[in-house]
């Protein structure tokens, strides 16, 4: 698995900006820290979230993964949007699941970020898979799957049709706040890595982590929950840890210091000195 390398030596340090030098200073004895840069809803700091513009920007910025949110239209099409309503990120109103795919596609999903993005569309899941698989890793969040009975089978079918149910180098990962949905996905797609999301202190206990480790490969908490002790516990249970959502250099540096496996960020350049 390709990962960003931090601490690559004196010659590289000379070429970096002062901020990037700070990222590259440690460790100093030839060891390399490694982590994945995950572009949250694409490079959402620079382009409208969960759109082709944001995903293209993430690829341009050399992200290891794009992260996206999957929901379902009224007529059964899998679509990429974060909120369960369209109000915040489009010029429409109402719940995603109450609108047909054609109605969703007719919305402007870019202007909220800037007029230069006017006309960006809500992408379909198959469109994103076809455009990016093999080019960048894809971290797929099942957004509120309890609202869409059977969506797990729908997502599994799309992945199987593209032979992505046996991903190379973990380049397809599924995650959700809904743990029952992730247990189901683990059954449907046993070779696809599974992640659990949480922002709750109740879910970082030893017993909770041990339960997650029975079906999950990734434990992905909000960065406010991250400690070195938690990272060590997750690793000792055989899971990796990716944390979210980084929107500052300080937050990025904190997670680097904690030695997480992935940093989920709106700004890929905040964590990747190649930008």
* CATH code where residue 252 lies: 3.20.20.190
Known catalytic residue at 235: no
Does residue 138 fall inside a structural domain?
A: yes
Distance CA 246, CA 131 (A): 26
Say what the pTM is.
Answer: 0.89
Q: For residue 74, what are the domain limits?
A: 36-82+124-270
260 belongs to a structural domain = yes
82 is catalytic: yes
Residue 182, in any domain of the structure: yes
**Which DSSP helix (H) or strand (E) runs through 151?**
helix 151-161
**Residues with Cβ within 8 Å of residue 169, at least 6 apart in sequence:** 1, 2, 137
pLDDT tens for the chain, 275 residues long, are 435 544 433 333 334 444 454 444 444 433 455 899 999 999 999 999 999 999 999 999 999 999 999 999 999 999 999 999 999 999 999 999 999 999 999 999 999 999 999 999 999 999 999 999 999 999 999 999 999 999 999 999 999 999 999 987 779 999 999 999 999 999 999 999 999 999 999 999 999 999 999 999 999 999 999 999 999 999 999 999 999 999 999 999 999 999 999 999 999 999 976 66
**Among the options 82, 133, 163, 249, which is catalytic?**
82
Structure tokens at 249: 């250099």
């Amino acid at each position: 698995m390709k990962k960003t390398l931090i601490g690559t030596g004196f010659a590289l340090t000379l070429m970096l900006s002062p901020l990037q030098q700070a990222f590259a200073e440690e460790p100093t004895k030839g060891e390399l820290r490694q982590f994945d840069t995950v572009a949250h809803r694409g490079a959402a700091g620079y382009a409208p979230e969960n759109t082709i513009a944001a995903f293209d920007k993430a690829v341009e910025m050399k992200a290891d993964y794009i992260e996206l949110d999957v929901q379902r239209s009224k007529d059964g099409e899998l679509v990429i949007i974060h909120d369960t309503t369209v109000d915040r990120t489009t010029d429409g109103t109402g719940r995603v699941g109450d609108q047909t795919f054609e109605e969703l596609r007719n919305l402007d999903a870019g202007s909220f970020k800037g007029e230069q993005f006017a006309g960006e569309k809500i992408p379909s899941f198959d469109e994103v898979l076809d455009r990016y698989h093999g080019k960048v890793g894809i971290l797929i969040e099942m957004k509120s799957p309890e609202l869409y009975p059977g969506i797990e089978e729908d997502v599994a079918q799309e992945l199987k049709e593209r032979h992505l149910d046996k991903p190379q180098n973990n380049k397809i990962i599924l995650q959700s706040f809904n743990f029952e949905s992730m247990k189901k996905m683990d059954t449907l797609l046993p070779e696809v890595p599974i992640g659990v999301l949480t922002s709750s202190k109740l879910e970082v206990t030893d017993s909770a982590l041990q339960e997650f480790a029975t079906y999950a490969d990734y434990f992905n908490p909000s960065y406010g929950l991250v400690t070195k002790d938690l990272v060590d516990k997750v690793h000792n249970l055989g899971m990796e840890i990716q944390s979210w959502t980084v929107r500052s250099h300080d937050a990025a540096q904190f997670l680097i210091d904690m030695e997480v496996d992935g940093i989920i960020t709106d700004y890929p350049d905040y964590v990747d000195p190649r930008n």
